Structure 1
Amino acid sequence: MDEVLLRSLTPGVLAVLVRRGADFAAAEDAVQEALIEAVRVWPAEPPRDPKGWLVTVAWRRFLDATRSDTARRRREDRVEEEPPPGPAAAADDTLQLYFLCAHPSLTPSSAVALTLRAVGGLTTRQIAQAYLVPEATMAQRISRAKRTVSGVRFDRPGDVATVLRVLYLVFNEGYSGDVDLAAEAIRLTRQLAAAIDHPEVAGLLALMLLHHARHATRTTPDGALVPLAEQDRGRWDTVAITEGVAILQAALARDRLGEFQAQAAVAALHADALTAEETDWVQIVEWYDELVRLTDSPVVRLNRAVAVGEADGPRAGLAALAAVPDSVPRRTAAAAYLHERAGDLPTAARLYAEAAHRSPTIPERTHLTRQAARLNAHLRP
């Protein structure tokens, strides 16, 4: 039994049932029953059209469940007659499923969980492990999300920006448990890019590939963080970098610049530098200027301040950082770095320790604590 094939077909089958009128939860139950039937039947009788087979069986299961429901008459009014067996329609149902899972009525965490469950085909246990929460908690979150989107019909185009934001959230979760969410986000974004011709979809895919190319060098074997400037660039994935740059260049050529394309351009400039010293910080600042124009995000302004510190000197970086609110995550760490670059080691040591105290993750906290300890050791008589 080809489990990879089943997993790849599941979102499209689920989307077909939703498009025909099944509510989300009932459609998923029917698809799961069809998958169980496929595991039983396919080894002996493999179908010529696997997706068409799954759609037919899942739709029959949905009709059976609907007809046995106490509200049969009311619900059957909106159920189509069973279509004849045959090849599955080539309609872009999976794209609709992306929009459904990123519905604006869902919280970001629920949208991510539902996307991983419905589009990614991950089990509730796998998603719970990835987010380090009990399986029962994740099951409740997904059930609430299903109830929220049940009955939603698309009478207007979905919001691509919301879908991309959800996929970006998935990517940033990285790796935990037995699921590499960064790799899963790349797979889902590839799928989306194949379904919709949009420069920002391409920009997000390029950004993911360029960031993930550095995955193996971001931490030491014991889990300690390795700053970008200290990473072994010889171990970066050049295949992923080449693909990411090519996708980005094609997107930029369409002259419809968006946030993810600009972020990918920054990542491409880092990937292009053979050493940290060769990084084109002036051009990176220019791309951050574009990002500020597009988003006016405090996080973007923070990253721009660090880039200004590299391009024009730490004092210029600190001046740019002064416009960033203290509440922005990692602002204190950036201030510590720029003060160290400026030669103000006592202030840098104090800020590193303060940033470590505020850090949300253990690896980051450990890294910042070590930076503070390093400077304090240097300052000690």
Structure 2
Amino acid sequence: MDRRSFLKTTAAGGAAATATSLAAPVYAQGKQTLTMVTSWGRGLAGVHDTAQFIADRIGEVSDGSLTVDLKAAGELVGAFDVFDAVSSGQADMYHSADYYFLGQHPGLAFFCQIPFGMNFMEYTNWWEHDGGRVMGEELYSIFGLKAFPAGNTGPQPGGWFNKEINAPEDFQGLKFRMPGQGGEVLGKLGVSVQNLPGSEVYQALSSGAIDGTDWIGPWADEKAGFQEVAKFYYTAGFQEPGPNINLNVNREMFDALSPAHQAIIENVARSANLWGMSLFTANNAAALQRLQSGGTQLREFPAPVWDAFGEASKDVVEQYMEDDLYKSIYDSYMKSMASSAQWSASAGGAYEAQRNRVMDL
């Protein structure tokens, strides 16, 4: 299958190929204002905070010569419309998780998260030093975009349920919110998968429109109130061990910026990547304790369920290998992950196990 075949029926593909004029950045007294759209409702813990960090820091570092007008989900375009908006030039940049847009090209999964994929440090290594940036340039340029890693949540839990999961068969018939290839895995286990923006998940869960959901982690989940409407919290999941969140900018707009402003955007995105990741890490442990004290029942999936996740994940991740670009990205990603994992197991994994034992952590 030709890699561009995924574009033929997508609005973004057509817009990227045919747009002849883009919305130019706003100029006022020598200053430029860029419009950023996001997939996050205003106030969504961690993810909106990271987008706001980016907007604020670009203004600060540029001494006000480059400012960002942040539009949260629904304020200019919908949560799942940001890709099209920036690809077509309706907005200048977006902050989102690109597994929301796999209909544009399935290879986007690698630049957010695949099941049983990379953690934060592994992804950072792949992007910065081991071929990921080159692969990203090839894919995103098709859509007139330029991608910058700009946030990460760290490992995400398995999700919230109103019944216990003791065997793979317990997923049959559940209505569950999970985006990306992780959702495709659950679909293979008999789940009716829902892909909802974060701001709509609480209402769907409380009304019974869905039976369970994943989200981000204890801190963000507590802020969203899921403990009020779900009983069981599975603290480890297969689907998102380190999802990357991108700041994607319209390539034509970016190329027209001064080199100094280009460097500011790239370096602010890089700082947001670490800042966002550490924000979740700093808050998750205490939030998990509060959830447990408040009556949330913590669970872990049993081994047969993990095995079912693994088998279905291989099928999902490998189903697009006939697409040349997807296969190239897959090969680069897997080679890098294997190398990082080997070193981590040899050094970091052994050290952390012994440290936690010796220090009673």
TM-score, reference length from structure 2: 0.29
TM-score, reference length from structure 1: 0.28
Specify which structure has the higher proportion of strand: 2
